[in-house]
Structure 1
Amino acid sequence: MRAVWLTKFGDPSVLVPGEAPDPVPGPGQVLIEVTHANITFVETQFRATGAGPFRAEAPLIPGNGVGGTVAALGPGADPGLLGRRVVSGTGGSGGYAELAAVPADGLFAVPDGLPLDQAVALLADGRTAVMQLRAADPRPGERALVLAAGGGVGSLLVQLAAAAGATVVAAAGSAEKLALARELGAAHTIDYREVDWADRARAEPGGVDVVFDGVGGAIGRAAFDLLRPGGRLDSYGLASGEWTAITEETATARGVRLVGADRSPHALRTATEHALTEAAAGRLRPVIGRRFPLAGAAAAHAAIEARDTLGKTLLETGR
């Protein structure tokens, strides 16, 4: 099969197209004929340094999320899965390929009417957005600030927070991303490349009750300072390269709370299922900004690192 190899840790050029043996599904596994592979920001960090939630040594085939059709079954797998459209995590590797062997009990059936590419776009970002929304619990009439509002998770959080009745304040780093946020339901938009962005947010709309922080660093800290008493800071990402450094004591002194998502297996599964169901019903729109062929994985990683993407970026095998 065709695949992309991470030959060593480094810049995007270490992602090299090549051949690999077809995987064979083991007991309780299925073989997915992959049409789309998900790319996350975390994967770009792993490629660069080897650090992150995945524990593996190069060379390997990277990729932690795929979508396609079940093409073969391992011993003990449900025969009813054969031919089904599914999305699945891979456990951290093996996704940038035409075929992927994954545990059958980790599959998510793609609802009827939902295109497969949209389901793949929701596999990681959809569940993350739903879990963060449940953790911060924005209420009708509250103001919710979404950082990195033009990204895969941020663009979904804009929609989810607005649907929950919150007034959404979207912050991002380009006019195009802010325009997307307005289209998705943001009432206010702020370019956080501007040095006075936090002062502007404090003056209009006048502080916030919830911060969804997928950026971290100085921007996350400035967003924390915008929280009003009773507010919640939900830090779930570090696109800046570092977490927002706020202690419980600092938050308590301000009268705000630090919240985090329930990441139990049950919570992960129900959040993914909820995102897929909402999208199938037309209530949640995954934004697929760019698509690259499988052999273009290096270019896809470079575009994500250059902040030259909107929403989700996908690899496509052409199958």
Structure 2
Amino acid sequence: MRAIQITEFGGPEVLRLAEVPAPVPGRGQVLVDVTRAGVNYADTHQAENSYLAAAELPMIPGGEVAGTVDGRRVVALTSNGGGYAEQAVADAGAVYDIPDGIDDLTALGLVVQGATAWLLLRKSTHLEPGESVVVHAAAGGVGSLAVQLARAWGAGRVIATASSEDKRKLALDLGADVALDPDVPDLKAALIEANGGRRVDVVLEMTGGDVTDRSLAALAPFGRLAFYGMASRKPPSPIQAPSLLRHSTAVAGMWLPHVFTLPGDIMRRAMTELFGLAASGALRVLPGGEYGLSEAAAAHEALRSRRTAGKLVLDPSR
């Protein structure tokens, strides 16, 4: 089958089209005939081996696929990568039937980025109605869905940040009350001003560096910051526990694979709610661009340059 194979770690240039043997599912797994593969920012870290989980070469990247299993339309989280291919293997418990009326793009946007936004707001920060929410990178895959979910779940004020005027306008169109440039000279002051002079309750942050530092400083007492990525590849300043005590604030980390360690199949609960919101029109996945499988490197280049908004997908038929 055709697949993108990585044989050395590096930037987008290491993503090369190859002919490889089709995967064979093991016990408790299924083989998915892939119609679209999702592209996530985490994939760019995996390609350079800077992701949370160490990678082994040779490697086929890609953690999510939409396709068919025995004629059923499904979206799935792949087992140990393998999504950038014509066929992929997934654990049966990480396969979700796509409801009628939901297209592949929407399903792919929900299974990682939608579920991430759901968990950040429901589990990591326990958003309560009326609270203010800051969503950084609000035009991205997770951010664009987090803005919509925060609005649907009764946030008092949704404050978005995005790197360009077009992205900030998009965040406003999705339901944000205010959209800021994160590169302002004093981000802490800008966030407080955007919240009517009050410190903020919840921050969803995936940039790292000074953005994390300034966002943490803008938290109100009992405010929560959920950290789920480091797109700048710059770590924030070390967090001191006495500082959290002094300000009555909390910092949470969130990595999606840990949802499968929780009892009660929280992931399936999240997908059911997300599919329902999408079917009703209350939640929409933004198309960020479709690339042929052979154009995977171009998709990674676009992601790393911060030119994209919404969900990027690969079409394995070309």
TM-score, normalization by structure 1: 0.90
Q: Equivalences for 1:18-29 in 2 at 5 Å?
A: 18-29=18-29
**What's the offset of the Cα at 1:90?**
1.2
Moved more, 239-248 or 139-148: 239-248
Query: Which stretch shows the higher mean deviation, 206-215 or 181-190?
Result: 206-215
The residue aligned with 2:285 is 286
Distance 2:91 2:252 in 1: 32
Q: Is residue 46–residue 61 contact of structure 2 (8 Å, CA) maintained in 1?
A: no
CA deviations 1:106-147 (Å, max 9, x no partner) are 211111211122101211101110000112123332211111
1:237 aligns to what? 229
Q: Mark the CA change 1:260 to 1:8 in structure 2 (over 3 Å): closer, same or farther.
A: closer
How far apart, CA to CA, are the structure 2 residues paired with 1:318 and 1:83? 18
In the alignment, is the contact (CA less than 8 A) between 2:75 and 2:97 conserved in 1? yes
Moved more, 208-217 or 179-188: 208-217
Aligned counterpart, 1:304: 303
Counterpart secondary structure, 2:83: coil
Partners of 1:13 and 1:228 in 2: CA distance: 44
Q: How far apart, CA to CA, are the structure 1 residues paired with 2:58 and 2:87?
A: 18
User: Which amino acid counterpart does residue 18 of structure 2 have in structure 1?
Assistant: G
Aligned to 1:269: 268
In structure 2, relative to structure 1, the CA distance for the partners of 1:53 and 1:14 (3 Å cut) is: same
Residue 243 of structure 1 deviates from its aligned partner by 4.5
Shift of 1:16: 0.5
Aligned to 1:224: 216
Question: Which of 143, 151, 165 in structure 2 is aligned with 1:154?
Answer: 143
Query: In the superposition, relative to structure 1, how do residues 20 and 232 fare at CA in structure 2: closer, same or farther (>3 Å)?
Result: same
Higher mean C-alpha displacement, 266-275 vs 247-256: 266-275
In the alignment, residue 173 of structure 1 is paired with which amino acid?
S
TM-score (norm 2): 0.90
> Aligned-pair RMSD on alpha carbons?
1.9
Is residue 128 of structure 1 aligned with residue 99 of structure 2?
no
Give the 5 Å matches for 1:1-319. Answer: 1-48=1-48, 50-70=49-69, 82-134=70-122, 135-166=124-155, 167-205=157-195, 206=197, 207-244=199-236, 245-260=238-253, 263-265=258-260, 266-318=265-317
Contact 2:46 2:55 survives alignment (8 Å): no
Contact 1:169/1:187, CA 8 A, preserved across alignment: yes
Tell me which amino acid in the other structure corresponds to 2:89. A
Determine helix, strand or coil for the equivalent of 2:93: helix
Structure 1 residues 229, 67: closer, same or farther in 2, change over 3 A?
A: same
Report the Cα offset of residue 226 of structure 1.
1.1
Distance 1:26-1:259 versus aligned 2 partners, 3 A rule? closer
Structure 2 unaligned regions, length at least 5: none
| Preserved contact between residue 135 and residue 160 of structure 2 (Cα < 8 Å) | yes
Q: 2:204 is paired with a residue of what secondary structure?
A: strand
Distance 1:105 1:256, change over 3 A: closer
Aligned-pair identity (%): 41
Which runs of 5 or more structure 1 residues have no equivalent in the other structure? Answer: 71-81
Offset, 1:271: 2.3
Task: Give the Å deviation of 1:234.
Answer: 1.5
Aligned-pair CA distance for 1:22: 2.2
Task: Tell whether the 8 Å contact from 1:64 to 1:92 is kept in structure 2 after alignment.
Answer: yes
The count of residues paired between Structure 1 and Structure 2 equals: 307
Mark the CA change 1:35 to 1:140 in structure 2 (over 3 Å): closer, same or farther. Answer: same
C-alpha distance in structure 1 between counterparts of 2:248 and 2:92, whole Å: 46
